[in-house]
Structure 1
Amino acid sequence: MAIIITDECINCGACEPECPNTAIYEGGVEWTWAGGTALTEVDFGDGTVIDAKDDQEPISDEFYYIVSDKCTECTGFHEEPQCAAVCPVDCCVPDPDNVEDEETLLAKKAWLHAEG
């Protein structure tokens, strides 16, 4: 399960530097697959392949956001999601639309960081 940032976010930025996958971005800021990962390209499995350094559209223009496909809930890095641990207003919460088990999260970590 990925973590999401709710609209209660006060834009303090405490979460961003804590993410081992660089999956957290300030509102309005474009993101890349390459940022904080070992990815050089992303193959979506449907014939679409993009350069991992290509800018992607912000998910939110108003507050910090988490790219769910880069979020591993800190699995393999820490005992708990670090964004949630440091958030002063408890707005980093599990995303019920992106439920993943530990095996899936570890596989995502390995993919993002080119392990194994």
Structure 2
Amino acid sequence: MALMITDECINCDVCEPACPNHAISMGAEYYQIDPAKCTECVGHFDEPQCVTLCPVACIPVNPAHVETRETLMQKYERLTAAPAA
């Protein structure tokens, strides 16, 4: 399951540097999460760092991108694989 940031975001800048996959960036009005890069920190941490650090609890699971832990691990492995020479 990829995460998403709701419009309750206060743009506190805490989540973006905490994301090990660089899936979080500033959108038009508030931060957004790229579901193609979000692994909910699987492979990096036990818990999603953005959710842990968010002071307003505005980062729920994105219902449009439901994934199993196994799928998230596969995504993590793709994202962290060394490029072919």
Shorter chain as normaliser: what TM range?
A: over 0.9
Q: TM-score, normalised by structure 2?
A: 0.93
State whether structure 2 residue 47 is matched by structure 1 residue 80: yes
Report how far residue 13 of structure 1 moved. 0.8
Take 2:5 and 2:22, find their aligned partners in 1: how far apart are those partners?
14
Matches within 5 A, 1:1-116: 1-27=1-27, 61-114=28-81
Take 2:66 and 2:16, find their aligned partners in 1: how far apart are those partners?
22
Report how far residue 76 of structure 1 moved. 1.1
1:40 is matched with none
Extract unaligned runs of 5+ from structure 1. Answer: 28-60
Deviations, residues 35-89 of structure 1 (Å, cap 9, x unaligned): xxxxxxxxxxxxxxxxxxxxxxxxxx11000001100000011111100000000
Report how far residue 96 of structure 1 moved. 1.1
**How much identity, in percent, do the aligned residues show?**
55
Take 2:15 and 2:60, find their aligned partners in 1: how far apart are those partners?
12
Take 2:51 and 2:72, find their aligned partners in 1: how far apart are those partners?
17
Take 1:87 and 1:2, find their aligned partners in 2: how far apart are those partners?
16
SS at match of 1:65: strand
| Structure number having the greater strand percentage | 1
